[in-house]
Structure 1
């Protein structure tokens, strides 16, 4: 059983930030920005500012891919949790969501709709 320890965050933890942290906690390898957006179920426009805040706080490390990308595709920037970031992410996700995501071998976890919006949309149909 995990012990919940309150972590003081250097920034506001939104539901989108929690989704990003869960994407990293469930990944077995570093992720590029688009993969984070896909795993978190959020648009890239909201993901990149979160990634920048997490990196500035020292929770993420990043690097540009060194191989030449495929024709017509820009280089990717890869992100991974730092040891401190991993501990903080686990504590915050556990505190806010009550459980930690299970690491995935290949496919990322299914994104959760914010505030039940998908359930309301399905009910309308």
Structure 2
């Protein structure tokens, strides 16, 4: 996957809590990546096997519509860890907050 600021920022946000379920809105806020750039990256991660997705149950959602969630796979933890390691060494990403990792 091409190294972009959106990928690095999403990697940092996902790796901040690698065992949790992540919601699109939460990932956008945490990473600072807008939905137009975020969802294509999430789709790529799903296709590469870095993430799995699912939907909240009606009970979890309560009165609001169920939310889609994303969970890192073992492969995703390895790959996104490598993305963050490369970003730390790459001058282009020195302004990106990698403090999540």
TM-score bucket of the superposed structures, by smaller chain: 0.7 to 0.9
**Alpha-carbon distance in 2 for matches of 1:70, 1:43:** 27
| Deviation >6 Å, runs of 4+ | none
Task: Please list, as runs of the form range in 1=range in 2, the aligned pairs for 1:1-125 lying within 5 A after superposition.
Answer: 11-27=1-17, 29-68=20-59, 69-71=61-63, 73-98=64-89, 101-102=99-100
Q: Secondary structure at the match of 2:33?
A: coil
Equivalent in the alignment of 2:93: none
Q: Give the alignment's TM-score, normalised by structure 1.
A: 0.65
- Please identify the structure whose Cα radius of gyration is greater: 1
Equivalent residues of 1:23, 1:36 under 8 A apart: yes
CA RMSD in angstroms comes to: 2.1
User: Which segment is superposed worse, 62-71 or 40-49?
Assistant: 62-71
Residue-pair matches, total: 92
Q: Give the alignment's TM-score, normalised by structure 2.
A: 0.78
Any stretches of 5+ residues in structure 2 without a counterpart?
90-97
